Structure 1
């Protein structure tokens, strides 16, 4: 039995992660700001992770085999965690995102060029230093990149960043509303806004990312790892699968250059290579195997 601290873990796939670890017999503690209680049988610590003094007070003299950080969004939060958990844990797993590979920073594809999925080496977080563009999405991606750099620079403990693909599934649990966007628009006969030449992106099921985080907590590798189901889809492929579930053909409206399109429509290659995690032993599913059920859940929500 291991001792596991989950920072966050109160919604969506974080709840599945906590439940899975507890069901496997580990001693699990959840740390959050007290907005929600963890499942029965799980320890609970209340603290604001941004307040270093109160975080230390809440932890007391506790140590953990593994910390799984679900809610690290900024380099400031990473710096606090690095200081506080130095000497307290033997392994630190941070839930990162594929958005660290910001499409705005990727080379535009040449006509007819070969699209190579992004590997972990496609990003050097130490070269990240300025927000590319503006708005919440860019701020989020930059915050995650710079948080990774804090942990990777002169590591205080063995560290893993799990760069999760776009997470889908769970019906009402999916607070992002991105899959519901497609279900609602296509069912209503409204067009989906797409780029003139949309490129594929990567997805992962909400239970699969919970499984991968749990798996990563028990391994010995370090550094970044991409987390994506096998098989990428572009926005039209996703829309076609939604159409099969709602019984109505999708329509499309091409947006102009620089205009905002529907979620998951990208004007340059934006799919991840999951080869590192697969080689290390994680068994990924295929997007086309689980996505129809996820769409049905979204339609019923």
Structure 2
């Protein structure tokens, strides 16, 4: 197939490009040209910016593709420009959205039929924590309206794996590795019974190829295995963990948001760690072992030059504050 990918040089988009090439398809990427990524040989690069409207898509000319995969559509004005330009020139439009579109993220389990947030009324609203979900809701509606019966909406969980420049999923494998080198214990929020759930970017990419090849329309949550935090840190090899309740952390000025990936069960966002991916699994999603995802991400990070989101100094400061307060967290053994 001839595939057009909007985006494709960073993290999720890059993995999607590589998966299509590995499957033998011809790939064209349209980007703003701001990331000088090494892509597989034979990938055609076009430069354009949907923020400029139709003029920003001039590089597409009058060409046709079998499918378009939109990895970089965050604002309705961007998606409006591309869906209008490609409506009669691609057979399928695959849009990478997010589980953040759901209106009731605290419910367990989150399914595709759950209610969505109201769409953002401002097409040019900046992408923030508050607008991200509503903007994606508006983008999804544009795609489905422009491509009835030929729209594929992917709603991935937090995405993990090599090339993850966000560092969210990298922190814990790195921290466990430092613990293995003698830097112990690992400070972790909760009591080990909350949950963590991510999706390997490569699994998302391979599913994208499968659904595109099958011309499969529909909406798909894309999520990996749901693990307790005790099991998660155990598979990373963190032998000694110091657990601290949310209340204790907040008492020493350390909010749970300082700990990457952590969303307390029962909180307003807790359901986002309980995402049902049954439809995607039935459609061919194959999941990588979380231990493999962690190991591969850690191996990639060694040459990435990324700083940890929670620095060793900050972790030590929080531990010291907990101990000084006389509420040193318990250290139950991992299963």
TM-score, normalised by the number of residues in structure 2? 0.73
| Corresponding residue number in structure 2 for 1:279 | 282
Unaligned runs of 5+ in 1: 109-115
| Corresponding residue number in structure 2 for 1:113 | none
- How far the C-alpha of 1:189 sits from its partner, in A, is 3.9
**Selected match of 1:117 from 75, 86, 109:** 109
Q: Is the 8 A contact 1:232 1:287 kept in 2?
A: no
Matched, 1:251 2:246: no
User: Cα–Cα, structure 1 residues 61 and 101, in superposed 2: closer, same or farther, change >3 Å?
Assistant: same
Q: Residues 247-273 of structure 1: CA distance to partner in whole angstroms, max 9, x if unpaired?
A: 551223323489443222223232211
Unaligned runs of 5+ in 2: 265-269, 304-335
Residues 202-281 of structure 1: matches in 2 within 5 Å? 202-229=197-224, 231-242=225-236, 244=237, 248-256=239-247, 259-261=255-257, 262-267=259-264, 268-270=270-272, 271-280=274-283
- Distance (whole Å) between structure 2 residues aligned to residue 175 and residue 251 of structure 1: 27
- How far the C-alpha of 1:69 sits from its partner, in A, is 0.7
- How far the C-alpha of 1:95 sits from its partner, in A, is 1.2
User: Cα–Cα, structure 1 residues 205 and 84, in superposed 2: closer, same or farther, change >3 Å?
Assistant: same
| Corresponding residue number in structure 2 for 1:91 | 92
- Greater CA drift, 85-94 or 218-227: 218-227
Is the radius of gyration larger for structure 1 or structure 2? 2
TM-score, normalised by the number of residues in structure 1? 0.80
User: Cα–Cα, structure 1 residues 23 and 286, in superposed 2: closer, same or farther, change >3 Å?
Assistant: closer
> Over the residues paired in the alignment, what is the CA RMSD in angstroms?
3.1
| Corresponding residue number in structure 2 for 1:27 | 26
Give the number of equivalent residue pairs: 281
- Greater CA drift, 116-125 or 285-294: 285-294
| Corresponding residue number in structure 2 for 1:11 | 10
**Selected match of 1:140 from 94, 107, 132:** 132
- Distance (whole Å) between structure 2 residues aligned to residue 145 and residue 195 of structure 1: 32
- How far the C-alpha of 1:84 sits from its partner, in A, is 1.3
